[in-house]
Amino acid sequence: METYYLSSLDSVKFSVTRKCEFLKRLRLDTGKECVVVQVSPTVPLQEYNVADDADVLVLLSRHEGQDLSTMSTFPFFVFITRPLIPNIEGAETITKNDLQILAWGEIYRTRQDADDHRFG
């Protein structure tokens, strides 16, 4: 299981560094790759009328032509989404309607890089 660190320069909610473990790679019905991840600490979702905090998210590349399976430069820019379907880990293909975008974010190699929002 791959472990990275998720943070955001664009979102206050995601500015806190979260450990991000890759659980499963999926594809949207458009062919775009996405990754189901488990994050810690969890993400509060009260503003979406969701009682429980989320620990499972789905990340998608923000830039065309870049895939999460071939990340070579960091930070790697992603859409941070929450799954709207149960048991997303059991799916093989999903649609954009199965996800809700929460924020833009970045994947970093190390916690220190994420904490410092270090580029390069």
For the segment 19-45, what is each residue's pLDDT rounded down to a tens digit?
999 999 999 999 999 999 999 999 988
- The domain of 71 spans 3-116
Q: Under a CB-based contact definition with an 8 Å cutoff, are residues 54 and 45 in contact?
A: yes
Distance CA 28, CA 46 (A): 27
Contact 84, 100 (CB under 8 A): yes
What's the structural domain count of the chain?
Answer: 1
Q: What average pLDDT is seen over the chain?
A: 92
**Residue whose tokens read 């799916």:** 91
Q: What is the largest CA-CA distance in the chain?
A: 38
Phi, psi for 64 (deg, rounded to 5)? -60, 145
pTM of the model: 0.93
27 closest CA partner among 93, 79, 89: 93
Q: Which residues face 79 on adjacent strands?
A: 60, 104
